[in-house]
Amino acid sequence: MNLTEQLRQGYAPGVPYFTDSGSTLICDFLFDTAAYYPKRIALDFLSQQTTYEELVHQVRQAASVLRDSGVKQGDHIALIMPNCPQHVVAVFAIALVGAVSVEHNPLAPEDELKSEFARHRSKTVIAWQNTVEKLGFLGSDVRVFGVNLAYALSRTTRMLLRLPLKSVKEKKRILGASVPDFVRSWDHEVREAQPWMGDATAHADDPAVMLHTSGTTGTPKAAVLSHKNLASNVFQAIAWVPPLREGAEVFYSILPFFHAYGFTVTLLAGVRLGATIAIFPKFDVSQVLLSQKRLPCTFFVGVPPMFDRLLAEAPHLNVDLTSINYTISGAMPLSEELSKRWEKATTGYVVEGYGMTEASPIILGSPLSHDRIPGALGIPWPSTEIRIVDPENPEVDVEEGQIGELIARGPQVFQGYLDNPEETALVLRDGWLFTGDLVQVRNGFVFLEDRRKELILSGGFNVYPSQVEDVVRMMPGVADVAVVGMPGGNKGEEMVAALVLEGGASVTLADVREWAEKSLAHYALPRQVVVLQELPKSQIGKVMRRSVQQQIAELQSNLDARFPTLRASATEISEQVGQAAAALKESVAQARSEASERASALLAAATKTDEDDQEKGSDSNTSEQ
């Protein structure tokens, strides 16, 4: 019995060893579900709802816009949007016409977007209007469609956005922005288009999505995922949680679609199950908890910092979380303490998943049973084989209980990196994906022991120190820098920049963050700085990051020894601030409740006006809503 077969003995009841996606395309999920549940609510965006029948209509309208714009099978279509209904429509429309979605972080700095476009060379872009200003590097031959989130709201809400109030203007600015004349309105063109009634022509092995990642080596790349890769991981995900009810679940889609975890597990799996998917453009604790009151979640997918913040805020807003029957946690380790608190609040299971973008993304998961062990990576998913090999000789599997590199093989493993055979060859060998993670099997579960790759898990995002170092090293006054991750509790790792300064220079954390934010995403900014006389280096001149971590740990330990009351004082201050914040939140919650009642009355009156208009024969078609 090999390792995979041994570990499968830990499967929860009802989970199959194998799943088969057949020739499924990702757009098939939508069309098949709509055929069975046409009137079921598919999307809920800030209380505006879309049925599966309406969603199919919008997808076919969008497909018509793409075809009329010259998009052909195999073309790359760049998507730069937060989670929103337009994003969902675009993904399925692109799949329907046989093109490839290329996902981007809408908050990424211009330099990052520019380098990503240089890799995939998309000639069609569908972008949030607030992102368009960062696309000045695009040539005149690129078609740009702008998306305004206000179009995803109800007609009544859009009317309220016309009110000449400062707060309303601010919300309107967040939803969209003014754009140059050459930018076409995606919302308007989709709404006015005649639906294209053709059939999908792509094949299961054709590329469906490209997601940007630094993989195991730290070099930015575009991972190519086929329809089969994604569909396989969807079937595996659904098989992993047998109690899920088709056509009856409510998924909360908070993780961004440009992240494989959010794209596959919340969007695609949710559509395949016929779930109602509540879409959030960003993680806003109050917004999520107020939605929980209105549309209780049954299946929650998130990362540990989300659980921590929701648990802290729920009592202040009097929100009950017990509707959440199942939770999947990923992207970073989940502590046993946080796991227990979340399960106590929800009365449901929380299980962990492990994976990477190159695996669509999940490879391992904890079983949905009492046998799960918090902190473990889990056991192989259906149709997934794993081996633990000698890092220096991957032909040899390590002995049972020994530490080695995790490699995996299965239908969810990607095709390779776009136009990068050298990097592909480093991680994909004879169908086996080399994860770069060093693991060990204990008590029938795989546990992470170390990382060959040097990424830092910060708030659920992968941050590669070399990229941060390249930016900080260019800062005036900095002679050298090493970026490392230090333990940061439920938030994952705390990113620390160890600086060697030029003679007479003085650099603060605020200085570093102000400098770096021009080139790095917010989650990639250092949280601490430490000044060292020199960085420990190997004989060939490579910075030894582990030694840097040890030096920082010693400095912190010495500080605690010399000033034992320093942290206690900080804790006391923090508690006082927390008490004041709690009182303020209670006042804010009361004010919000009163404002909500006034808004409800106003909306009710506006809705009554809409109903009267409908009785008089006014047009209120689906696309207008």
pLDDT band at 187 (very low <50, low <70, confident <90, very high): very high
Strands 326-329 and 349-355: parallel
Please check whether residue 509 is in contact with residue 526, taking contact to mean a CB–CB distance below 8 angstroms: yes
Mean pLDDT to the nearest integer, 368-374: 86
User: Which secondary-structure segment (H or E) carries 160?
Assistant: helix 155-160
Indicate whether 621 pLDDT > 50.
no
Please check whether residue 252 is in contact with residue 301, taking contact to mean a CB–CB distance below 8 angstroms: yes
* Tens-digit pLDDT profile for residues 114-134: 999 999 999 999 999 999 999
Indicate whether 192 pLDDT > 50.
yes
Among 40, 149, 25, CA closest to 86: 149
pLDDT band at 457 (very low <50, low <70, confident <90, very high): confident
Among 222, 143, 134, 135, CA closest to 189: 143
Q: In what order do the strands lie in the sheet with 221-226?
A: 184-185, 143-147, 124-128, 76-80, 100-103, 207-213, 221-226, 416-417
Mean pLDDT to the nearest integer, 216-225: 83
Indicate whether 540 pLDDT > 50.
no
Q: What does the alpha-carbon distance between residue 575 and residue 315 come to, in Å, rounded to a whole number?
A: 17
Mean pLDDT to the nearest integer, 455-473: 81
When mean pLDDT is compared across 4-13, 284-293, 327-336, 391-400, the lowest value belongs to 327-336
* Tens-digit pLDDT profile for residues 375-420: 899 999 999 999 999 988 999 999 988 999 999 999 999 999 999 9
Which of residues 12 and 541 earns the better pLDDT score? 12
When mean pLDDT is compared across 41-45, 238-242, 487-491, 570-574, the lowest value belongs to 570-574
**What mean pLDDT is reported for the chain?**
87
The reported pLDDT for the residue numbered 625 is 31
Indicate whether 137 pLDDT > 90.
yes
* Residues ≥6 apart with Cβ < 8 Å to 151: 86, 158, 187, 191
Q: What does the alpha-carbon distance between residue 199 and residue 201 come to, in Å, rounded to a whole number?
A: 6
* Tens-digit pLDDT profile for residues 195-207: 999 999 999 999 9
Which of residues 450 and 309 earns the better pLDDT score? 309
Q: Which two tokens stand for residue 26?
A: 């990702």
DSSP character for 9?
G
End-to-end CA distance of the chain: 57
| Sign of the torsion angle spanned by Cα atoms 381, 321, 523, 207 | positive
* Integer CA distances (angstroms), 152 to 166, 266, 327, 443, in order: 22, 19, 27, 49
The reported pLDDT for the residue numbered 65 is 98
The reported pLDDT for the residue numbered 582 is 47
Mean pLDDT to the nearest integer, 152-161: 71
Q: What does the alpha-carbon distance between residue 527 and residue 289 come to, in Å, rounded to a whole number?
A: 28
Among 491, 429, 432, CA closest to 457: 491
pLDDT band at 581 (very low <50, low <70, confident <90, very high): very low
| Sign of the torsion angle spanned by Cα atoms 216, 222, 228, 231 | positive
Q: Which two tokens stand for residue 326?
A: 């199942």
Indicate whether 605 pLDDT > 60.
no
Please check whether residue 97 is in contact with residue 66, taking contact to mean a CB–CB distance below 8 angstroms: yes
Q: What does the alpha-carbon distance between residue 392 and residue 514 come to, in Å, rounded to a whole number?
A: 41
The reported pLDDT for the residue numbered 614 is 47
pLDDT band at 286 (very low <50, low <70, confident <90, very high): very high
Please tell me the chain's helix, strand, coil percentages from 3-state DSSP, rounded to the nearest 5.
40, 25, 35
Helix (H, G, I), strand (E, B) or coil at 614: helix
Indicate whether 624 pLDDT > 60.
no
In 413-501, DSSP assigns E strands to 416-417, 428-429, 432-442, 445-451, 456-458, 461-463, 478-487, 493-501
**Alpha-carbon radius of gyration of the chain:** 25
Percent of the chain with pLDDT over 90: 65
Please check whether residue 526 is in contact with residue 468, taking contact to mean a CB–CB distance below 8 angstroms: yes
pLDDT band at 278 (very low <50, low <70, confident <90, very high): very high
DSSP character for 17?
S
Indicate whether 275 pLDDT > 90.
yes
Apex 564 CA angle, 563 and 568, nearest 5: 115
The reported pLDDT for the residue numbered 467 is 80
* Residues ≥6 apart with Cβ < 8 Å to 192: 623
Helix (H, G, I), strand (E, B) or coil at 503: coil
Among 490, 501, 358, 338, CA closest to 418: 358
Helix (H, G, I), strand (E, B) or coil at 107: coil
DSSP character for 151?
G
Mean pLDDT to the nearest integer, 424-429: 95
Please check whether residue 216 is in contact with residue 115, taking contact to mean a CB–CB distance below 8 angstroms: no
pLDDT band at 255 (very low <50, low <70, confident <90, very high): very high
Mean pLDDT to the nearest integer, 12-18: 95
Q: What does the alpha-carbon distance between residue 30 and residue 50 come to, in Å, rounded to a whole number?
A: 13
The reported pLDDT for the residue numbered 622 is 34
Which of residues 557 and 485 earns the better pLDDT score? 485
The reported pLDDT for the residue numbered 620 is 38
Mean pLDDT to the nearest integer, 174-203: 92
Indicate whether 24 pLDDT > 80.
yes
Please check whether residue 269 is in contact with residue 305, taking contact to mean a CB–CB distance below 8 angstroms: no
47 CB burial (10 A radius; 0-12, 13-18, 19+): middle
Indicate whether 167 pLDDT > 70.
no
pLDDT band at 489 (very low <50, low <70, confident <90, very high): low
Q: Which amino acid is at 409?
A: R
Which of residues 220 and 488 earns the better pLDDT score? 220
The reported pLDDT for the residue numbered 488 is 74
Please check whether residue 225 is in contact with residue 185, taking contact to mean a CB–CB distance below 8 angstroms: no
Q: Which two tokens stand for residue 551?
A: 């030096």
Q: Check residue 14 and give left, alpha or beta (phi > 0: left; psi -120 to 50: alpha).
A: left
* Nearest 10 degrees: Cα torsion 88, 92, 93, 96: 180
Q: What does the alpha-carbon distance between residue 68 and residue 544 come to, in Å, rounded to a whole number?
A: 55
Indicate whether 250 pLDDT > 90.
yes
pLDDT band at 169 (very low <50, low <70, confident <90, very high): low
Which of residues 544 and 176 earns the better pLDDT score? 544
DSSP character for 27?
H
Please check whether residue 452 is in contact with residue 438, taking contact to mean a CB–CB distance below 8 angstroms: yes
* Residues ≥6 apart with Cβ < 8 Å to 548: 482, 484, 498, 532, 535, 536
Which of residues 608 and 138 earns the better pLDDT score? 138
Indicate whether 604 pLDDT > 60.
no
Indicate whether 576 pLDDT > 80.
no
Would you call the peptide bond into 361 cis, given omega within 30 degrees of 0 as the criterion?
Answer: yes
What DSSP assignment string belongs to 191-236? HHSPPP-PPP---TTSEEEEEEE-TTTT--EEEEEEHHHHHHHHHH
Task: Determine the distance from the C-alpha atom of residue 74 to the mean position of all C-alpha atoms in its chain, rounded to a whole number.
Answer: 25
pLDDT band at 570 (very low <50, low <70, confident <90, very high): very low
Indicate whether 538 pLDDT > 60.
no
Q: Which residues of 338-354 are buried (b: 16+ CB within 10 A; e: fewer)?
A: bbebbeebbebbbbbbb
The reported pLDDT for the residue numbered 448 is 87
The reported pLDDT for the residue numbered 126 is 98
pTM (predicted TM-score): 0.79
